[in-house]
Amino acid sequence: MTAPLGPVARLVAQVTLIGAGIMIVGGTAWWWSAARTDYSTGVGWVADQPVPFSHEHHVAGLGIDCRMCHTGVEQSADAGMPPTYTCMTCHSQIWTGADLLAPVRDSLAAGRPIRWRRVNRLPDYVYFNHRVHIAKGVGCAECHGEVERMPLIGKAHGFEMKFCVECHRDPGPRLRPPEALFDTGWRRGASTPPPQELANFYHLGGRKLTDCSICHR
């Protein structure tokens, strides 16, 4: 017959069990939340680029349309990055000797593209098509934030599944009229069509946008 535990042994056993429980619960909470922090998702962090390109200067300051550089956004799954000769369209005439633009000039001379660091990336198992979203009235800012206010580009959203599902569940409030899709100064106001009217205009609702096959193919 096993002898009963003494008071000290019982205390040690209780503390051990409680500690183990705290470690399990704490570890699970850390595992769940750590991947969702801005540090892990990269939200708000600015990536070092070979050239410190300022969207604030080029878009808000000079009024350059997104499509001048991201030519594939309306026709392709990928918005695309500008070839060097697009940059040199202007910079063969202005800031021609600027040190910070040396990588651009070197790229053109060598015939090698600039190796920009990607800011927004989705997992390989997620299907995303820029063309479809633009065609259905989703403006760039809904995913990329107000890039015209970014001196250096950073990630605006973590792109967790929740972010996408919330929009797919109720896309109406995030849609824009066609003429406002690339207008960085546009803001929703009293004259903006109601969300359901915009959803009807873009023919949304015929297919359930939260079906798994929408994003996982």
**Domain coordinates in residue numbering, the chain:** 55-61+117-215
| Run of H or E residues at 190 | none
Q: How high is the pLDDT of residue 4?
A: 63
Q: How high is the pLDDT of residue 42?
A: 73
- Of 106, 119, 46, the closest CA to residue 79 belongs to 119
Q: Taking the chain (217 residues) in consecutive chunks of 10 residues, what is each chunk's mean pLDDT?
A: 65 80 78 66 85 95 94 94 94 93 96 93 93 96 94 92 94 96 92 95 89 93
The CB density around residue 87, as the number of other CB atoms within 10 Å, is 20
The whole-model pTM stands at 0.80
End-to-end CA distance of the chain: 62
Question: Nearest 10 degrees: CA dihedral of 193, 197, 199, 201?
Answer: -100
Q: How high is the pLDDT of residue 51?
A: 95
Q: How high is the pLDDT of residue 18?
A: 86
Q: How high is the pLDDT of residue 32?
A: 65
Q: How high is the pLDDT of residue 34?
A: 60
